[in-house]
Structure 1
Amino acid sequence: MYKNKGFIPSVLIPEIFKPSLDKEDYLPELVDSLSEEGFYCALEIAPVYDSNNRKKIKQIVTTKELTLVMWMTNIIDEHQLDLSSPDKKRREKDVNIFLEYINLATECGAHNIALISGPFHGEEKLTESMSGFIDSLITICKEAAKNDLKVLVEPLDRSAHKKKFMGPTTELVEIIKKVRNEQPNIAIAFDTAHAALNSENIESALSSAFPYTEQIHLSNAVLDKENRMYGDHHMVIDNEGFLTQHRIEKFLKNANQNGYLNNGKMRISVEMRTPEDQDSHYYENIAKNILKQGLQILK
């Protein structure tokens, strides 16, 4: 293994700026201001439905040479899409709906689209869900490749809170391997909270996922089932959850020492949702300082 210092700082706009994004016209201005400081080299956004806003964002991304990820989760949730459904007809219909929105990413100048699986339908349907998800991903990757887009897959928890099919890191790795036999433009978006809620050690999980991972979310969660905050609530990084600042430092040092930061090319953001009645810029500053401290310890 080689040693390297650093990673690519990213900001997860739909979560940190969630209270501010009720009006989409604010987004290009926000993208521009976040890129102005020069700290963030990558941005993550939700789907943008206004064509003029897409044009503005593309111009900023192109001019500033930023890597842009468009998370398609909103589309999946709004249309209740099940890309891993064991029902072939349902799955193919949902994939076709999903494909209709890929152009939103292209017109924003995105380099990646990111998605999640459908719900977990039970152990008895696990094989059908896995086979179906592979088929869905191949179809999506083929369409994405026409627009020079890479597809990122984020595993969630299977039984703790979100209860999605995908799922355990080792299973996703096997899926990614099979998809890459057909389409190389696919990778993993690793999330610390989801791995922990799947009862995985986050260092071991990243070790398994690393050869296929291009992005990491530092996300906190409460793992105590008796706690009212149990699950994946995109909470602030603090001592109530498992992912404290000290735990982040341990995770990043391990990732760096084992080469999991991919020669400084790994994109990392802090997944943290600003409460509706609070200042998004305050929370963005918290997230930024966490990333800055992470970079500092890797010097």
Structure 2
Amino acid sequence: MTITYKKALLVSNVCDPLTKDESDLISVYEHISKSGRYDGIETRVVEGDALVPVFNRLNQWQTVYWLTGQLDREGLCAASTDETLRVATITRIKQMIDQSIKTHVHTIGIASGKTKGDRSAEMNAFEKSVHEILDYIAMQDKEINIIIEPLDAFAHKNNVIGTTSQTHDFLKRFDQSLFTTGKLSICWDSAHVMLNEDQVATSLQTLAPYISRVHFSNAVLDKDDECYGDWHMDIDPAGFLNQDYANSILKTLNATSNHQDTVYVSVEIRETRRENVWNLEDQCYALITEAINAVEHA
């Protein structure tokens, strides 16, 4: 069965310079809504007396709130073996889930967080945290799902869960019906996979049942290069990602026998210049569109 690929925009990265001010952010969501280009968006938690009603009026997308950056900025970690810190993290995540309900957003995204060295104990702590989040969601009687993003395990972000084998071992701990119902899934990111020195085809084949979202993300892989790491860089020849590579990712995932029916696709590039936001958005849209077309016309 062919995957239905859907286009998504990673607002918090592509539009980053326009996300600092509430009036700018209102204009961003209005622009995206008017364009009609996207089935989904990925963004930070929407808050603010002026922004929330506008967002609720415009939000016809399958929206993901990524909590990862906010938790990191607040010094929180869902995989911490410090129980006080782990509980504080879950409390904060619950607050953001409450806000997601107010803004009719049905998916929250998290990463495991940076390892302090005892990865086995941290993985157990993260498993406990995910179960507690799932339990809290069940109490709300709302359709809210969790998406986990494995980051790089040793190159840059040093997350507890990163490599394909770590991710697969972790996901096998859960009731597999959580994945078939969409309650729990993962976001597969090309830069993270490459920085983990995993084989792309093997990673996609192994994790296909769990992948609900793909990030096209570029990285410099030369460890001696000052740009080595996960810097959300442009589609630049210094990195590995180009149009053909993006096409091959979707084709490979589509060729697996046990993939999900629908997968959202976005590009993870962090813009720094206000004046270039919509030019970059055009480039990202073109990259996604061609990659999806390459699958549909194969």
TM score, norm. by length of structure 1 = 0.91
Structure 1 position 199 matched with structure 2 position 197: yes
| Cα drift, residue 277 of structure 1 | 5.8
Distance 2:33 2:11 in 1: 12
Match in the other structure for 2:229: 231
- Deviation, 1:183, is 5.8
Aligned position for 1:82: 77
Q: Does 1:96 pair with 2:91? A: yes
Question: Could you tell me which residue of structure 2 aligns to residue 262 of structure 1?
Answer: 260
Shift of 1:262: 3.4
- Secondary structure in structure 2 of the residue aligned to 1:221: strand
Provide the residue aligned with 1:60 in structure 2.
Answer: 58
Question: Which of residues 156, 160, 164 is equivalent to 1:169?
Answer: 164
- CA shift, 1:141, in A, is 1.7
1:180 aligned onto 2:175: yes
Structure 1 residues 176 and 24: CA distance shift in structure 2, 3 A:
farther
| AA matched with 2:159 | K
2:219 aligned counterpart, secondary structure: strand
Listed as ranges, the matches of 1:124-135 within 5 Å are: 125-135=118-128
Structure 1: distance between partners of 2:93 and 2:277: 30
Which AA in structure 2 matches 1:10?
Answer: A
**Aligned residue number for residue 47 of structure 2:** 49
Q: 1:183 to 1:289 in 2, by over 3 A?
A: closer
Structure 2 counterpart SS, 1:113: strand
What is aligned with 2:293?
296
Moved more, 178-187 or 88-97: 178-187
Q: Per the alignment, do residues 179 and 96 of structure 1 end up closer, same or farther by CA in structure 2, a change over 3 Å counting?
A: farther
Secondary structure at 1:194's aligned position in 2? Answer: helix
Asked if the contact 1:138/1:183 (under 8 Å) is kept, the reply is no
Partner of 1:17: 15
Task: Give the direction of change, closer, same or farther, for the CA distance of 1:290–1:183 in structure 2 (3 Å limit).
Answer: closer
**Structure 2 residue aligned with 1:283:** 280
Moved over 4 A (4+): 181-184
- Mapped to 2, the partners of 1:96 and 1:71 lie a distance apart of 16
* Cα displacement (A) at 1:87: 2.2
Q: TM-score, normalised by structure 2?
A: 0.91
1:291 positional shift: 0.9
SS in 2 for 1:160: coil
Q: Quote how far apart the aligned CAs of 1:24 are.
A: 2.2
**8 Å contact 1:144–1:151 — kept in the other structure?**
no
CA distance in 2, matches of 1:28, 1:82: 30
Aligned residue type for 1:292: T
Residue 181 of structure 1: how far off its partner (Å): 6.2
Distance 2:71 2:204 in 1: 26
Q: For the residues of structure 1 that align with 2:246 and 2:24, how far apart are their CA atoms?
A: 32
Task: Identify if the C-alpha distance between structure 1 residues 94 and 246 changes in structure 2 by more than 3 Å, giving closer, same or farther.
Answer: same
Contact persistence 1:129–1:165 (CA under 8 A): yes
1:242-281 deviations in Å (ceiling 9; x for gaps): 1121211222222223357634x10000111112365100
Question: What are structure 2's unaligned runs of at least 5 residues?
Answer: none
Which runs of no fewer than 5 residues in structure 1 stay unpaired?
Answer: none
Distance 2:98 2:168 in 1: 27
Check conservation: 1:141, 1:183, Cα contact below 8 A: no
- Report how far residue 84 of structure 1 moved: 0.3
Q: Quote the RMSD (CA, aligned, Å).
A: 1.9
Which letter maps to 1:283? L
